[in-house]
């Protein structure tokens, strides 16, 4: 038997709360996981597969760019 989406979300909420991670969620965990892999050069089509997304556009919404990354990109011009 598997977990329902709701029971997994509740389990993660308890784990995050126990770890003192205020405001964390299953989505923030996915966002951090995917962003960290992207920052290490993992291709977006690999990220899409790992996330179980149907489209790269969905995966792209999970990726975070820091102000320093944005500044470094502009400085390439």
Domain extent listing, the chain: 5-75
Please list the rounded mean pLDDT of every run of 10 residues in the chain (77 residues). Answer: 75 86 81 94 96 96 93 95
- pLDDT for 24 equals 80
* Alpha carbon distance 28, 21 (integer Å): 11
Nearest by Cα to 7 from 33, 26, 21: 26
* pTM value > 0.75: no
- pLDDT for 1 equals 55
């Amino acid at each position: 038997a598997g977990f329902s989406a709701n029971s997994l979300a509740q389990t993660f909420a308890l784990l995050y709360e126990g770890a003192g991670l205020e405001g964390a969620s299953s989505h923030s965990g996915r966002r951090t996981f995917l962003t960290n892999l992207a920052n290490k050069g993992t291709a977006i089509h690999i990220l899409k597969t790992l996330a179980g997304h149907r489209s790269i556009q969905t995966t792209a919404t999970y990726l975070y760019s820091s102000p320093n990354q944005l500044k470094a990109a502009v400085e390439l011009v």
